[in-house]
Amino acid sequence: MNTTSTVQDWIAIHPQDDVIITLREYTKGETIVLPDDVSFALLDDVPKGHKIAVHHIEAGENVMKYGFSIGVAKEQIAQGSWIHSHNLKTGLHGLLDYEYNPGLASKTEMPPEHLRSFDGYLRPNGEAGIRNEIWIVNTVGCINKVCEALARMGQSQFGKRVDGVFHFPHPFGCSQLGDDLKYTQQLLASLVEHPNAGGVLVIGLGCENNQVDQFRECIAPEYQGKVRFLKAQEIDDELEEGLRLMEELVEVAEQEKRQPLPLSKLKIGLKCGGSDGLSGITANPLVGSVADMLVAAGGTAILTEVPEMFGAETILMNRAANEQVFDDLVDLVNGFKQYFVNHGQNIYENPSPGNKAGGITTLEEKSLGCTQKGGRSEVVDVLRYGKRVTKTGLNIVEAPGNDLVSVTALSAAGAHIVLFTTGRGTPFGGPVPTVKIATQSDLANRKKHWIDFNAGQLLEGQTMDDVRVQLFSQLIDIASGRSQTLSEQHGFREIAIFKDGVIL
């Protein structure tokens, strides 16, 4: 699914495609000249990042992009027409049966030798951290403001001794029962265990369903040494006690120093948000290539956004390491589809308004671009929501497409850094460093306070080999603490919890 030809103002992706993609706005009547000297006049105005039909397409025919169908023509589409929601619809429907046809995974290149290690914190249990921060995790939303005040006070008092003090507010933990409570606890416990936190202060109110003592049991014994617990209703001055416990955590955390570590210790999350018609052409393939390099070096990449795999899921399924992984992925995909059905929603009611404005018409078009973040590596494991990665290589974790929810799930799964591609732009930052990668130079230049890396270089003469080494080098600098993401610099850190819990 790599680019095969570029002609200044438009791009062709695959020789079997029925469309080209515009790299600027086009006006009705302009002439397009294809590489085989076929020329035609545009029948419509066409926005940047959108699709133009390169030949006549009959009603009911599949329309090809990336070498795959992105939907079905609603009507006859003449050569030179703008193809979008008015004349193209999804070809997806219902639940599907799948057959395992392995063999799509391929070996990929190692990163350059000078980029095969990073300077991180080796935790006592053998895990690596790329930050040495103090995190405040509350068991219930009622205590958010106390935790927020403690984070400010902690940053002022201890910020120079560690890499920062941070609190991640959420509204849950009160009046939750059964699986709903269980999966909130599971997600929060996985964050507590994250190796970017050298110490964690868990604060409860005292009357909530998510009791501190109960939540403590959700945290694995090997992590208990870096955690302190506080019940606000049982303490005369919870701020004073919180600072005292935080100082204990700082004393533990500052004993650890950065040291050279192999890439096998590094985990990255893969995410897109505010995608446009160029996401699957520039930023997502770039991130996939970087993920492949890390996996080739023994590291770990984590992919999510399950509903945005619909229509491209077989590409991932046929890269499953074995039939068990294949079956787990089938269950994950069909489980999410059933989730939509159970809530009376159209399974394929996607893409979003912003996606459509950027040139994405159908879910299969969005998915074919989205899944390219997973590169070409073998899928080694499928994780349920809130669970942590245990295998190196490409993992898939259960979570929806919502940016805050999915980045939180990637972080809880163990991602040290999230590579976040965007064609529309977003200031969001997750609990771990969140690298914003623009699909085009216009966005990168206009939103310099949001965007960390410009994948639009790939449309301006730069090769994939050169640009992926640039991004990988920046990744290593961030992991080694030599640089921060813009969202880190601005203090933009948030989490969100999937209220419905897991799908299955």
User: Helix, strand, or coil here: 203?
Assistant: strand
Res 6 pLDDT > 50: no
CA proximity to 195, closest of 164, 223, 173, 159:
223
Per-position b or e across 269-307, b if 16+ CB within 10 A of its CB: bbbbbbbbbbbbbbbbbbbbbbbbbbbbbebbbbbbbbb
Q: What's the pTM? A: 0.93
CA proximity to 424, closest of 216, 206, 278, 217:
278
pLDDT (tens digit per residue) in 148-180:
999 999 999 999 999 999 999 999 999 888 888
List CB contacts of 495: < 8 A, sequence separation 6 or more: 168, 169, 170, 191, 404, 408, 411, 430, 431
Share of the chain above pLDDT 90, in %: 85
Q: Which DSSP string do the residues of 12-76 spell out, in sequence order? A: E--TT-SEEEESS-B-TT-EEE-TTS-EEE-SS-B-TT-EEESS-B-TT-EEEETTEEEEEESS-
Distance CA 156, CA 340 (A): 46
Res 480 pLDDT > 90: yes
Res 501 pLDDT > 80: no
pLDDT (tens digit per residue) in 128-139:
999 999 999 999
Distance CA 80, CA 41 (A): 6
Give the model's pLDDT for residue 349. 67
Bigger pLDDT: 349 vs 223: 223
Res 194 pLDDT > 90: yes
Give the model's pLDDT for residue 434. 98
What strands lie across the sheet with 133-138, from one edge to the other? 165-167, 133-138, 197-204, 227-231
Residue 27 structure tokens: 């006006």
List CB contacts of 61: < 8 A, sequence separation 6 or more: 72, 73
Distance CA 450, CA 472 (A): 19
List CB contacts of 406: < 8 A, sequence separation 6 or more: 271, 304, 305, 399, 400
Res 4 pLDDT > 80: no
Res 23 pLDDT > 90: yes
CA proximity to 161, closest of 241, 256, 245:
256
List CB contacts of 491: < 8 A, sequence separation 6 or more: none
CA proximity to 280, closest of 366, 359, 407, 349:
366
pLDDT (tens digit per residue) in 58-101:
999 999 999 999 999 999 999 999 999 999 999 888 777 899 99
pLDDT (tens digit per residue) in 394-417:
999 999 999 999 999 999 999 999
Give the model's pLDDT for residue 500. 65
Bigger pLDDT: 36 vs 467: 467
Region 460-470: mean pLDDT is 95
pLDDT grade, residue 492 (50/70/90)?
Answer: very high
Q: Given the structure tokens 């933990």, which residue do they identify?
A: 173
Give the model's pLDDT for residue 3. 38
φ and ψ of 137, to 5 deg:
-120, 120
Distance CA 157, CA 392 (A): 38
Share of the chain above pLDDT 70, in %: 97
Answer whether 304's CB lies under 8 Å from 271's CB: yes
Give the model's pLDDT for residue 214. 95
pLDDT (tens digit per residue) in 278-320:
999 999 999 999 999 999 999 999 999 999 999 999 999 999 9
Distance CA 339, CA 409 (A): 18
* Mean confidence (pLDDT) of the chain: 93
